[in-house]
Chains A and B, each alone.
Chain A
Amino acid sequence: MSATDTTTSAEGAPAGQSGRKLTTARAMAEGIAQEMERDTGVVVLGEDIANYGGIFGSTTGLLEKFGPDRVLDTPISETAFIGLGIGAAVEGMRPVVELMFVDFFGVAMDQIYNHMAKIHFESGGNVRVPMVLMTATGGGYSDAEQHSQCLWGTFAHLPGMKVVVPSNPADAKGLMISAIRDDNPVVYMFHKGIMGLPWMAKNPRSVAPVPEEPYETPIGKAAVAREGSDATVVTLSLSVHHALDVAEKMAAEHGVDLEVIDLRSLVPLDTDTVLSSVARTGRLLVVDEDYQSFGLSGEIAARVAETDPGLLRAPLRRVAVPDVPIPYARSLERAVLPTPERIEAAVRDLCKA
């Protein structure tokens, strides 16, 4: 772990001298709290975000600190409260609105993609919608078809929303602060498996040093989570950690040196970081917990091909969710998620190792 602990620290974050460690959930809540202290226009809305502190801990402690006027539990009424966030943002507030599971977007998508994402454009730039829509993503714990999806490709596909997807505590805080300060709607997508929840298998990097002071992690800038020379693994969120684990194993057992890129943002997408890595390694694997077809992995492939197909010395590989809903049974779910085993198999194929 020690090799990756250093490389997954937040780019753009001040060097944390204290070494204080937080879970990703705590880091998010701290980022929100620091912005609430700075700006009284920041309010938090959503289901179970007040007394409960967020089902996945993203708002823990905010009610106690800021009270019920600024931390508001809503009815199970996503269209109404996401739309309310939009109207409040139009009037100059900076709401942070939680959609409990991204899978629930279907009941409120009109507010999200027809209103939140389009008002600035429709108004010719005259009306801004500075809100954060944060939402939990991802599977791996048998929550089945309607509570396990990532769907970031869906949001990234629709113009007008920035989309950020942190993978670790330091980025989670910095991206939250950047998202709140951004004058655009930002969809902030956190994987349940990176939150450091006591009631779910913890990724070892879900508790990590987080600087205490407020700081921004730039939106639209990928991080090189591990430097390497033999192949590039482009990924995000929980899959970053699987990729790092595979990279350590491949280095130790096969002498294969992987570069792992943590995209962190999908909109805007840091194409330059991907291209410069692929230009050096000549081999590309995209690991994505979203569905395979018409999504992120195809987009990365297209951007490489559009720039210079000659960058690739071997056919590109993808490890994503094959085009099937996420199954319930553990055996089936593991068969379709981008597990370390699937990633390793793809790397070995890609590198002939």
Chain B
Amino acid sequence: MDDKTRLDLYRVMVLSRTFEEAILREYHADKKPAFDIGAGLVPGEMHLSAGQEPVAAGVCAHLRAGDAVTATHRPHHVAIAHGVDLDKMTAEIFGREGGLGRGRGGHMHLFDPNVHFSCSGIIAEGLPPALGQAFAFSRGEGNRVAVAFTGEGAANQGAFHESLNLAALWKLPVVFVVEDNDWAISVARDASTCIPSNADRAAAYGIPGQRIDDNDVEAIYTTAGDAVARARAGEGPTLLEIHTLRLWGHFEGDPQAYRPELADVPDQDPIPAYEQRLTQAGILDADTATAIKEEASARVEKAIEFAKASPVPAPETALDHVFA
């Protein structure tokens, strides 16, 4: 890996984390003293992706214009890594007319057709539409691919297995990425999943499967590169499972009382670790790190400003957009 690629991975992760920290701030700002999930400028469930940035950065680094991505109920890191319009995405999270979905979808339902990005709030159900995008791409020019992100909790859903079978059967240009953050809300993977690695399930469908441990963005980058290249070459799907980290709760307001080693979690944060690694390798210095963080912060605050300045959807438009 060259230095520029490594710095780019760091930059994407920092932007994503900066974004999540800003959403965290905005989400809780007006839910005090008592937490009310429906109150404030950003209401509703909020699933933030802090800790999972290496997955999105490492995988999406291989995607180019025209490639499709489907993500989950926890979509922000993937959206940012795939280049979703940050202003419009933020406005959508704020439920504004200037949002990606004009405020109709919210943070679990982000659609940016310019970069072929979508996400779904239903576990494992973002996979089948990714197959269809890959199906369409396989008939067109440009060797485009689709990447479907899902969680380890989704690997026990029928949609997951149906999608793997059909994608393998039709050799669709798709990469399945399981983000294993150890927790399906409060149920540990050991309590839900019969085998240690979901990547082993690839064998059942006759496709390559690989598990990547340690939330290591460079290992993710390398392995995902092979999977994307394989899809682009028309050789069919690959299943990757990436062991990552849910740094915060399942959703904001989650007390995480079920998590036995909660106090140790912050030490596993992948971003300071990668910063240190790049610093030790002589690729990153303190000034550059600061500049990257300031650049991210400025970009995110501009997006927050854009969102707040965007109008609230007019009630009389509530019935719009059901049909084309």
Contact = CB atoms under 8 A, between A and B. Distances in A.
Interface of A: 69, 74-75, 77, 79-93, 95, 107, 110-111, 114-115, 118-128, 130, 159-160, 162, 183-184
Contact of B136 (A93, A107, A183): A93
Interface stretch (B119-127, B255-263, B299-307): B119-127
Interface stretch (B3-11, B39-47, B157-165, B244-252): B157-165
Nearest to A119: B111
Contacts of B139: 69, 93
Contacts of A81: 128, 166
Interface residues of B, number: 41
A87 B133 contact: yes
Given A90-B129, A110-B159, A160 B113 contact: no
Given A83-B129, A84-B166, A110 B134 contact: no
Contact of A80 (B68, B105, B131, B321): B131
Given A121-B321, A160-B322, A184-B324, A88 B166 contact: no
Nearest to B112: A126
B60 interface: no
Most buried by A among B132, B135, B146, B323: B132
Given A90-B118, A114-B122, A183 B132 contact: no
B166 to A, nearest CB: 4
A74 B166 contact: yes
B104 interface: yes
A95 to B, nearest CB: 8
Contacts of B125: 79, 83, 110-111, 114-115
Contacts of B137: 91
Contacts of A119: 111, 118
A120 B159 CA distance: 22
Nearest to A72: B170
Given A124-B104, A162-B323, A183-B324, A80 B163 contact: yes
14 contacts: A75-B165, A79-B159, A79-B162, A83-B159, A87-B134, A88-B132, A115-B129, A120-B324, A123-B111, A124-B104, A125-B320, A126-B101, A160-B323, A183-B324
Contacts of A183: 324
A115 to B, nearest CB: 6
Contacts of A93: 132, 135-136, 139
A90 B109 contact: no
B113 A126 contact: yes
B135 A87 contact: yes
Contacts of B323: 120, 160, 162, 184
Contact of B132 (A87, A121, A130): A87
B103 interface: yes
B165 A77 contact: yes
A120 B322 contact: yes
Contacts of A75: 162, 165-166, 169
A69 B135 CA distance: 11
Given A82-B128, A87-B129, A124-B102, A159 B111 contact: no
Given A77-B165, A83-B125, A160-B322, A115 B105 contact: no
A124 B99 contact: yes
Contacts of B105: 122-124
A123 B129 CA distance: 15
Contacts of B324: 120, 125, 128, 130, 183-184
Contact of B158 (A79, A120, A130, A160): A79
Contacts of B321: 120-121, 123-125
Contacts of A114: 120, 122, 125
Given A82-B128, A85-B132, A119-B111, 14 more contacts: A77-B166, A80-B131, A81-B166, A87-B129, A87-B130, A91-B116, A92-B136, A111-B159, A115-B122, A123-B109, A124-B103, A125-B102, A125-B324, A127-B111
- B103, B129, B139 pick with most chain A CB within 10 angstroms: B129
B165 A80 contact: yes
A124 B317 CA distance: 11
A127 B113 contact: yes
Given A80-B159, A183-B324, A121 B111 contact: no
5 closest A-B pairs by CB: A83-B128, A87-B132, A124-B102, A87-B129, A91-B136
Given A119-B111, A123-B105, A124-B101, A91 B322 contact: no
B163 A83 contact: yes
Contact of B135 (A77, A84, A160): A84
A84 B125 CA distance: 11
A66 to B, nearest CB: 13
A110 B323 CA distance: 19
A84 B111 contact: no
Nearest to B108: A122
Contacts of A84: 128-129, 131-132, 135, 166
B296 to A, nearest CB: 27
Contacts of A86: 128-129, 132
Given A81-B166, A110-B159, A90 B133 contact: yes
A123 B120 CA distance: 12
B100 interface: yes
B111 A122 contact: yes
Contacts of A125: 102, 320-321, 324
A162 B125 CA distance: 22
B103 A88 contact: no
Given A80-B159, A110-B159, A125-B324, A115 B120 contact: yes
A127 to B, nearest CB: 5
A85 B129 CA distance: 7
B128 A89 contact: no
A301 to B, nearest CB: 23
Nearest to A89: B132
A90 B128 contact: no
Nearest to A267: B323
A83 B101 contact: no
A163 to B, nearest CB: 12
Nearest to B99: A124
Contact of A122 (B109, B122, B165): B109
